[in-house]
Amino acid sequence: MINELDFKILDWIQQNCRNEVMDFIMPKVTFLGNLGLLWIVVSVIFLMIKKHRKCGITLSFGLVFSFLAVNVIMKNLIARSRPCWINDDIEMLIAIPRDYSFPSGHTLFGFLAAVIIISYDKRFGIPAFLIAFAIAFSRMYLYVHFPSDVLAGMILGIAIGIFSVLVMKKIMLRYEEKKLTSIAG
What is the DSSP track for 159-173?
HHHHHHHHHHHHHHH
Amino acid 184: pLDDT:
62
| Residue 17 forms part of a structural domain | no
| Residue 48 forms part of a structural domain | yes
48, 84, 86, 126, 177 from 121: Cα distances, Å: 16, 38, 42, 9, 23
Report yes or no: 103 and 149 within 8 Å, Cβ to Cβ: yes
18, 90, 121 from 15: Cα distances, Å: 6, 11, 39
| Residue 126 forms part of a structural domain | yes
Residue 8 DSSP code: H
Report yes or no: 23 and 93 within 8 Å, Cβ to Cβ: yes
The boundaries of the domain holding residue 138 are 22-84+93-184
For residue 163, count CB atoms less than 10 angstroms from its CB and return exposed for 0-12, middle for 13-18, buried for 19 or more.
middle
Q: Say how far residue 5 (Cα) sits from the centre of its chain.
A: 23
Report yes or no: 61 and 167 within 8 Å, Cβ to Cβ: yes
| Residue 4 forms part of a structural domain | no
Q: Lowest-pLDDT range, 67-71, 97-101, 149-153, 171-175?
A: 171-175
Amino acid 130: pLDDT:
97
| Residue 60 forms part of a structural domain | yes
How many structural domains is the chain composed of? 1
28, 123, 136 from 14: Cα distances, Å: 18, 34, 15
Amino acid 15: pLDDT:
93
- pTM, entire model: 0.91
| Residue 9 forms part of a structural domain | no
| Residue 2 forms part of a structural domain | no
Amino acid 172: pLDDT:
79
Please report, as a single letter, which amino acid is at residue 87.
N
Q: What is the pLDDT of residues 3-37, one digit of tens each?
A: 889 999 999 999 999 999 999 999 999 999 998 89
| Residue 37 forms part of a structural domain | yes
Taking residues 135-159, what's their average pLDDT?
Answer: 97
Please report, as a single letter, which amino acid is at residue 144.
V
